[in-house]
């Protein structure tokens, strides 16, 4: 089994209500399909390889949300800022074996996910609308999400989520 941490971090307007999804999507080299880059949806109990809809041996072991106080963020950035730093880290465990994808230039599999997507809901502090958002490794940045009222919900300048192998 492979264990990875998948982490997002955003500066949200202070006081935003943010709820992260229970499930996470990872692109994994699937040992059942024996194909690279299969999207697998994983929650706390089980997982499914979306393309062939087969069960996949994986689960979210833990989720940790940390909200920094606005003051510390301001100090960190050395500016006056009405945003607060919110991070969410999923600890995900999944099955992996080395194999060769014969239908994909005989490329060899690798244990780390190719990309990840984390979904969340954020309530706009200005108008109260609940916005459904997600952050995904392979999108163009900088990327900004804006509420329909015009309020900027967050801006991403770097690639997210971060993915680390748990040792
Ligand atoms: Zn599969
Ligand atoms: Zn709004």
Ligand 2 centroid to 117 CA: how many Å? Answer: 23
Res. 159: pLDDT tops 90: yes
Mean pLDDT of the chain: 92
Ligand 2 centroid to 23 CA: how many Å? Answer: 25
Ligand 1 centroid to 29 CA: how many Å? Answer: 8
DSSP states of 127-156:
T--EEEEEEETTS-SSEEEE-TTS-EEEEE
At residue 77, the pLDDT reads: 60
- Cα separation, 105 vs 53, in Å, equals 24
Distances, alpha carbon 167 to alpha carbons 19, 98, 161, in Å? 28, 18, 19
Is the pLDDT higher at 50 or at 84?
Answer: 50
Residue owning tokens 């239908």: 103
Three-class secondary structure of residue 32 per DSSP: coil
Ligand 2 centroid to 81 CA: how many Å? Answer: 19
pLDDT class of 79 with cuts at 50, 70, 90 = low
User: For residue 11, what are the contacts with CB-CB under 8 A and spacing of at least 6?
Assistant: 73, 81, 83, 84, 85, 86, 154, 155
Res. 84: pLDDT tops 90: no
Ligand 2 centroid to 45 CA: how many Å? Answer: 34
- Cα separation, 125 vs 138, in Å, equals 28
- Cα separation, 96 vs 2, in Å, equals 6
Ligand 1 centroid to 114 CA: how many Å? Answer: 14
At residue 99, the pLDDT reads: 97
């Amino acid at each position: 089994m492979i264990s990875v941490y998948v982490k997002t971090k955003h500066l949200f307007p202070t006081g935003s209500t943010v709820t992260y999804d229970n499930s996470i999507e990872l692109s994994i080299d699937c040992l059942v399909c024996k194909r690279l880059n299969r999207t697998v949806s994983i929650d706390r109990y089980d997982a499914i390889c979306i393309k062939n809809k087969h069960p996949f041996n994986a689960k979210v072991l833990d989720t940790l949300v940390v909200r920094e106080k606005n003051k510390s963020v301001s100090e960190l950035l050395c500016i006056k800022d009405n945003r607060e730093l919110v991070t969410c880290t999923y600890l995900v465990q999944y099955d992996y074996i080395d194999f060769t994808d014969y239908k994909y230039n005989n490329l060899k599999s690798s244990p780390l996910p190719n990309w990840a997507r984390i979904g969340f809901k954020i309530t706009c502090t200005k108008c109260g609308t609940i916005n459904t958002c997600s952050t995904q490794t392979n999108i163009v940045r900088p990327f900004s999400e804006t509420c329909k009222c015009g309020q900027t919900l967050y801006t991403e300048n770097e690639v997210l989520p971060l993915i680390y192998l748990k040792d």
